[in-house]
Structure 1
Amino acid sequence: MANENVELMRGEPEIAVRKLAIPIMISMLLTASYNIIDGVWIAGLGQAAIAGVGFVTPIFMILNGVSVGLGNGATSSISRAIGARNHEGANKSATHSLLIFLVASIILSLILLVIQEPLLKTYGASGQSLVEGIKYGTPLFIGLFAFMFANGCSGILRGEGDMKRAMYAIIVSVVLNFILDPVFIYVLNLGSAGASLATIVSSFASAIVILYWILIKKDTYVDVNFKGFKFEAAVAKDILKVGIPASLDMFMMSIAMSFYLVFISSVGGEYGIAAFTSGQRLYLFGIMPLTAIASAVAAVSGSAYGARNWDYLSRTHTYGTKFAMMFSVAIMLILVIFAPQLALIFAYTPETSVLIPEITRFLQIACLGLLLVGIGMPSSFMYQGIGRGTTSLAWTIIRELIFTVSFTYLFGIVLNWGLVGIWIGLAVGRILASILNFCYAKYTLRKLKPQMEA
C-alpha cells in the first residue's frame, strides 16, 4: 500500500491532488467536528461557558497550530525526499520528526499552563467566563502531547501519500469524542473541563493508532528505527524550516483572533463573543475541505519539487486552486443560505436563543470571505510543499494581521458599525489578501521555471 501511495505522489498531479484530498478532507471534517460536538454540548452549560471557551480559542489555535505546523514540516521534508527517490532521507525525516514532536509538546505545555490566565484576562475574560475558560483550557494544555502526536504523525503519513490510514485514526478519535463528551460534561458533571478532557483522551487514542503502524507494525514506506539513532542538525533544520513557519501561521492567526476578540468584546460584550464563537465554529468547519485540498497540494508540490518537475508543480497549483474554488463557493452558499437554521445548533436553549440573530448575521456576512479563500489557501500550502515556509507565513501575516485586522477595526470601531462592521471586515480582508496571494504564487512559479528546468 505504501509503495502505491508513493507512486501516486509521483504520478499525474491532478489525479494525485484529487485522490489525496478526499481522505484528508474527510479527516479534517471529522477533526473539525470536535469543535462542533464540543460546541453543541457546551451550549447547554449557558452563555458564560460559551464565552469562556471562546476566550480560550486563540490559545487553543496555538496548541493545535504547532502540532499541525510541525506535521506539515514532516510532510514537506518526507515528500521532497520521496520525489528525489531518497528513501533513507525520508526515514531520517520521519525519525527526527517524532523527536521534535516530543520536545515541542513538553515545552509548550509548560508555557501555556503559565500564561493562560493572564492571556484570557487580556482578551477580556472576567468573572464566570474567566472561570469557565480556565476549566476548559487546563486539560487541553496538560494533554498537549496527545494533540501533538496525533496531528504530527498524521503529517508523516501524508508525506508518503498514505492519507487513508490517517483518516482511519481520526475516525477512531471522533467516535470516542462523540461518546465521551456527554459522559464527561454531564454524567461525571465536569462541565467545560469535561469537553476538553474528552478531546484529549480521543486525540491520545488517535496518536496511539498511528504510532502502532509506524513503530510496531512497521508497514509504512518510512522506516523509523531509533536503534543507533544519531541526531542530524541538517535533517531537523529541513523539517523546522517549514514546521516553524507553519506553526507560526496559527500563532499569527491566534494573535489576529485576539484582536477580533478585543474588538468584539468592546462593542458587543459577552453576547458578541458568544455569537462569534458559535459562528466561527461553523466557519472553521466550512474551510476544512479547502485546507484538505491545500494539504494535498503541499504533498504533491513537495514531490514535484524534489523531482525538479516544474510542469507537475505548476499543474498541481492550478488544479488545486480550481478544485478548492469549487468547494469554497458551494460551502459559502450553504452557510449563507441556511444561516438561521445552522445558528440553532449552538443556541437551542432558552438562555442562548437570543444569540440566533447575531450568529445568523455572522454567517451571512463573514462567510462571504470564502468566495475567494479557495485561491489563496492552495497557494500558501504550495510554498510549504517546496520548502518555503517563511513565504507561507508572510502571507498569513498579510491576510490576517494586516488586511483582516485592519478592516475589522476600520468598519467595526472607527466607522462605529459595531458587530456588523467586524463581520464585514473579516470578509473583505480575506478576499483581498487571497487575490494577492494567488497572484504572487503564479509569479513564484514563473521564477522557479528556469531554475528547475536547468
Structure 2
Amino acid sequence: MANKNVELMRGEPEIAVRKLALPIMISMILTALYNIVDGIWVAGLGPTAIAGIGFVTPIFMVLNGASVGLGNGATSSISRFIGAKNHEMANESATHALIIFFIASIVLTIIFIIIQKPLLESYGATGQTLNEAVAYATPLFLGLVALMFSNGCSGILRGEGDMKRAMYVVVATVILNASLDPVFIYIMGLGSAGASLATIVSAVIAAAIMMYWILIKKDTYVHVTLKNFKFNSKLARDILKVGIPSSLDMLIMAIAMSIYLILISQVGGDYGIATFTTGQRLYLFAIMPLTAIGSAVIAVAGSAFGARNGDYLSRAHKYGVKLGLLLGTAITLILVIFATPLATIFAYTPETANLVPGIAQYLQIACPTLILTGIGIPSSFFYQGIGKGNYSLMFTILREIVFVVPLMYLFVFYFNLELVGVWLGLCIGRAIASVINYLFARYEVKRTRAKFGN
C-alpha cells in the first residue's frame, strides 16, 4: 500500500492532490469534531463554562499548532526525499522527526503548565470563568505528548502519501471522544475538565496506534529505527525550517486571537466572548477541508520539488487553489444560509439561547472570507512543501495582524460598529491577505520553474 502511495505522489499532480486531500479532509473534519463535540456538551454547563473554554482557545491553538507544524515539517522533508528517490534519507528524516516531537512536547508541557494561570488572566479571565478555563486547560497541557505524537505521526504518514490509515484512526478516536465526553463531564462530574480529558484519552489511543505501525509493525514506506540513531543536524534543520515557521503560524494566530479577545471583551463583554468563541468553533471546523487541500499540496509539491519537476509543481499549486476556491464558496453558502440553525446547536439551553443571534451574525459577516481563504491556504502550504516555511509564516502575520487588527479598530472605534466591526475586520482583512498570498505563490512558482529549467 505504501509503495502505491509513493507512486501516486510521483504521478499526475491533479490526481495526487485530489486523492490525497479526501482522506486528509475526512480526518481533519473529524479531528475538528473533538472541539465541536466538546462545545456541544459544555454548553450544558452554562455561559461561564463556554467563556472559560473560549479563553483557552488561543492557547490550545499554540499547542495543537506546534504538533501540526512539526508534522508538516516531517511531511515536507520526507516528501522531498521521496521525490528525489532517496529512500535512506526519507527514513532518517522520519526518525529525526520522532525525536523532535518528543523533545518539543516535554518543553512545551513544562512551559504551559507554569504560565497557564497568569496567561489566562492576561486575556481577561477572572473569577469562576478563570476557574473553568484552568480546569479545561490543565489536562490539555499534561496530555501534550499524546497530541504531539498523534499529529506528528500523521505528518510522517502524509509525507509518504499514506493518508487512509491515519483517517481510520481518527474515525475511531472521534467516536471514542464523543462517547467519553458525557461520561467525564456529567456522569463523573468533572465538568469542563472532563471535556479536555476525553480529548486527551482519544489522542493517546491515536498516537499509540500510529506509533505501532511505524515502530513495531514497520509496514510503512519509511523505516524508522532508534537503535543506532545518530543525530544529523542538517536533517534536523531541514525538518525545522518548515516545522518551526509552521508552528509559529499558530502562535501568531493565537497572539492575534488574544488581541481579538481583548477587543471583543471591551465592546461585548462575556456575551461577545461567548459569541465569538462559539462562532470561531464553526469557522475552524469549516476551514478544515481547505486545510486538508493544503496538506495534500505539501506532499505533492514537496515530491515535485524533490524531483525538480517545475511543471508538476505549478500544477499541484494551481489545482489546490482551484479546489480551495470551489470548496470555500460552497462552505460559505452553507454557513450564511444556515447560520441560525447552526448557532442553535451551540446554544440550545435556556441560559445560552440569547447567544443565537450573535453567533448567527458572526457566521454571516465574518465567514464569507472563506471564499478567498480557499486560494490563500493552498498557497501557504505550497511554501511549506518546497521547504520555505518562512513565507507561510510571513503571510500568517500579514493576514491575522497586519490587515485584520487595524481594520477591526477602524470599524469599531472610527465607525462605531462594535461587534459588527470586529466581524468585518476579520472578513475583509483575511480576504485581502489571501489574494496577495496567491499572487506571491504564483511568482514563486515562476521563479522556481526558471531555476529548474522546466
Q: Please give the range of the TM-score, normalised by the shorter of the 2 chains.
A: over 0.9
Match of 2:28 in 1: 28
Contact 1:172 1:205 in 2 (8 A): no
Letter in 1 for 2:112: L
Contact 1:12 1:312 in 2 (8 A): yes
1:368 CA displacement: 1.1
Alignment of 1:389-408 (within 5 A): 389-408=389-408
Match of 1:272 in 2: 272
Match of 2:346 in 1: 346
Alignment of 1:63-212 (within 5 A): 63-212=63-212
Match of 1:296 in 2: 296
Letter in 2 for 1:273: I
1:445 CA displacement: 1.0
Which SS does the other structure have where 2:350 is aligned?
Answer: coil
Q: Distance in 2 between matches of 1:115 and 1:412?
A: 31
1:169 CA displacement: 1.3
Alignment of 1:176-255 (within 5 A): 176-255=176-255
Match of 1:14 in 2: 14
Alignment of 1:349-364 (within 5 A): 349-364=349-364
1:416 CA displacement: 2.1
Structure 2: segments with no counterpart, 5+ residues:
none
Contact 1:263 1:413 in 2 (8 A): no
Letter in 1 for 2:335: L
Which SS does the other structure have where 1:44 is aligned?
Answer: helix
Letter in 2 for 1:221: Y
Q: Distance in 2 between matches of 1:210 and 1:103?
A: 18
Which SS does the other structure have where 1:287 is aligned?
Answer: helix
State the identity %.
66
Match of 2:43 in 1: 43
Q: Deviations over 1:107-145 (max 9, x none)?
A: 000000111111111111111111100000001001100
1:384 CA displacement: 0.1
Which SS does the other structure have where 2:190 is aligned?
Answer: coil
Q: Distance in 2 between matches of 1:276 and 1:399?
A: 18
Letter in 2 for 1:146: A
RMSD: 0.7
Match of 1:445 in 2: 445
Q: Distance in 2 between matches of 1:413 and 1:31?
A: 37
Q: Deviations over 1:4-56 (max 9, x none)?
A: 00000000000000000000000000000011100000000000000000000
Letter in 2 for 1:284: L
1:171 CA displacement: 1.2
1:370 CA displacement: 0.7
Q: Distance in 2 between matches of 1:146 and 1:301?
A: 29
Q: Distance in 1 between matches of 2:304 and 2:136?
A: 43
Q: Distance in 1 between matches of 2:194 and 2:251?
A: 25
Which SS does the other structure have where 1:422 is aligned?
Answer: helix
Structure 1: segments with no counterpart, 5+ residues:
none
Match of 2:333 in 1: 333
Q: Deviations over 1:339-394 (max 9, x none)?
A: 00000011000000010110010000000111200010000000000000101100
1:415 CA displacement: 2.7
Q: Distance in 2 between matches of 1:409 and 1:286?
A: 26
Letter in 1 for 2:148: M
Q: Deviations over 1:148-167 (max 9, x none)?
A: 00000000000000000110
Contact 1:76 1:298 in 2 (8 A): yes
1:406 CA displacement: 1.7
Alignment of 1:278-289 (within 5 A): 278-289=278-289
Q: Distance in 2 between matches of 1:51 and 1:346?
A: 13
1:228 CA displacement: 1.1
Moved over 6 A (4+): none
Contact 1:27 1:170 in 2 (8 A): yes
1:172 CA displacement: 1.9
Letter in 2 for 1:300: V
1:414 CA displacement: 3.6
Which SS does the other structure have where 2:45 is aligned?
Answer: coil
More displaced 10-residue stretch of structure 1: 411-420 or 291-300: 411-420
Q: Deviations over 1:162-192 (max 9, x none)?
A: 0001101111210110110000000000000
Q: Distance in 2 between matches of 1:361 and 1:434?
A: 23
Q: Distance in 2 between matches of 1:406 and 1:122?
A: 21
Which SS does the other structure have where 1:349 is aligned?
Answer: coil
Q: TM-score, normalised by structure 1?
A: 0.99
1:413 CA displacement: 3.2
Q: Distance in 1 between matches of 2:273 and 2:313?
A: 42
Q: Deviations over 1:219-243 (max 9, x none)?
A: 0000001111111111111000000
Contact 1:263 1:412 in 2 (8 A): no
Letter in 1 for 2:382: M
